[in-house]
Amino acid sequence: MRSSVRYPAANEILLTDCHLIDGVSDEPFERAYVEIRDGKFVASGPMSKAPRVKGLYEIDCQGRTVMPGLIDCHVHLVYAGSKNMEEAIRFPVETAVIHAVMHARAVLDSGYTAVREVGTIGNTSVAMRDAIRQRKIYGPKIVASGRGIGTTGSGNDLLPAHWESTGGRLVVDGVDAIRKAVRRQTREGVDNIKFIASGVEVHPTCFTWMTTISEDELRAGIEEAHRWGRSVAVHAQSYEAVKFALRWGADTIEHGTRLDEESIEMFKRSNAFLVPTLCTLYSVLLLGEKLGLSQKQRDEMKVNEPLWTGSIKAAYDAGVQIASGGDLGNRYPHGDNAKELSYLVQLGMKPMDVLRSATSIAARAIRRGDRFGSIKPGLEADFIVVDGDPLRDMDVLLDPARMNMVFQDGEMVAGSEWKEPREEMPIIRPPSCEGGHQH
Ligand SMILES: [Zn+2]
């Protein structure tokens, strides 16, 4: 149970002597201050302009990095690092929820203050989103999807035919069925709809180069989602799936393993974001043998590697908006989300562009740019204080000892300098017991 005690208790905080990365600007600011009031950023600037008001709770950052809380646009909090998808989705909803609660804490501890869930078991990500919003449990702010929607035989249809379908994936065919699936998920309270438009490498018979949905089906799904005010993420690893998705206005393309000149042109003419998920690729290449992943999966990733890295590089060079997301829960454990940022640097992205892809650009990709993702007056004060400079060495974000403070809405909620409030648990009794027997 999350305590209602806040630390620090001040509702006005002044961060001083910051190495400030605001999530938007091209360059960091040295010796900067940031002022926070009632959970929102109020002002920032050089130390010489810092307010000298009594009653501000001052945190002397001593030159440490202050930057927006990180955002991961592609996570599955219910996945527990399973070896294959049969294993990942065979958990009952009850177990999935317990995993998700544990993983949410790990993600927050690693400096990620918001995530977009792109495929859950049952309706877990909506329940998680609401519990975190109501401060019942700790975790990142969540943009929630329901179960991924895909067709028979697709990367979504993973169980052998003689098994009953689980709560993990939604297998539907035809325009009407897809519209209905979207409508049901809106009723269940999702923010985002996830479609599976191509194969996945974990599937035994469905390959990433295959397009597994018809253009009519995907068009109907995207139209329906947008009609109900929901954003759309499309798993697209084939050339054609990317084009279907972009043609009909998908908000984000997940993975983008195969992009050609035409799809990059389409990207630039759209408002869509690319979520590369390089962790998916490298976790199979680097851990495949050790984890005993299937030969098909490992072989396919070897084929995909040059296509994938080439596609992301070409998109970056062409100015496509890249929002980072690691697809964690698959092989790499939750909490290692910042590995994705190191891979993006290795790929040749400028470190500042990588940090923007995990802050202001990520926030816009998940339609939350007006709420958080940069250190700007009026935005929610979600930020981290890091001992080290990720612009020089992105790996500092992976070191729990350097992740000193993690704040959400101006409240410290995690980090090596955070101490869990140790107040007594409140005793809650149902009303009928009041004044009755004590057990
Ligand atoms: Zn995924």
> What is the 214 CA–ligand 1 centroid distance (Å)?
21
> What is the 48 CA–ligand 1 centroid distance (Å)?
46
Is 50 exceeded by the pLDDT of residue 425? no
> Domain 12-69+375-414 is of which CATH architecture?
Roll (2.30)
- Mean pLDDT value across residues 299-304: 96
- Mean pLDDT value across residues 405-432: 75
Is 80 exceeded by the pLDDT of residue 436? no
The secondary structure of residue 17, as a DSSP letter, is: E
Mean pLDDT of all residues in the chain?
A: 91
Band (pLDDT 50/70/90 cuts) for residue 424 is very low
> What is the 21 CA–ligand 1 centroid distance (Å)?
29
pLDDT of residue 437: 47
pLDDT of residue 168: 66
Decide if 416 contacts 401 (C-beta within 8 A).
yes
Q: What is the pLDDT of residues 319-333, one digit of tens each?
A: 999 999 999 988 899
Band (pLDDT 50/70/90 cuts) for residue 1 is very low
pLDDT of residue 419: 83
| pTM for this entry | 0.93
> What is the 334 CA–ligand 1 centroid distance (Å)?
13
**Unique residue bearing structure tokens 């806040």:** 6
CATH superfamily of 70-365: Metal-dependent hydrolases (3.20.20.140)
- Mean pLDDT value across residues 157-170: 67
Give domain limits for the chain: 12-69+375-414, 70-365
CB under 5 Å of ion ligand 1: residues: 327
Is 60 exceeded by the pLDDT of residue 417? yes
Decide if 40 contacts 381 (C-beta within 8 A).
yes
Helix (H, G, I), strand (E, B) or coil at 163: coil
pLDDT of residue 429: 47
pLDDT of residue 329: 85
CA quadruple 165, 171, 174, 176: dihedral positive or negative? positive
Q: What is the pLDDT of residues 70-91, one digit of tens each?
A: 999 999 999 887 676 667 667 7
> What is the 150 CA–ligand 1 centroid distance (Å)?
13
The two most distant CA atoms of the chain are separated, in Å, by: 74
Q: Where are the alpha helices (DSSP H) in 171-214?
A: 175-187
Own/partner pairs, 420-423, CB within 8 angstroms, 24+ separation: 420/3, 421/3, 421/5, 421/7, 423/3, 423/5
pLDDT of residue 155: 80
Q: What percent of the chain has pLDDT over 70?
A: 90
pLDDT of residue 422: 57
How many angstroms separate the CA atoms of 222 and 231, rounded? Answer: 8
pLDDT of residue 10: 58
pLDDT of residue 56: 86
pLDDT of residue 439: 45
> What is the 439 CA–ligand 1 centroid distance (Å)?
48
Name the residue with higher pLDDT: 287 or 330. 287
Q: Count Cα neighbours of 258 within 13 Å in the Cβ-side half-sphere.
A: 20
- Mean pLDDT value across residues 245-255: 98
CA quadruple 322, 384, 114, 278: dihedral positive or negative? positive
**Unique residue bearing structure tokens 């993690």:** 406
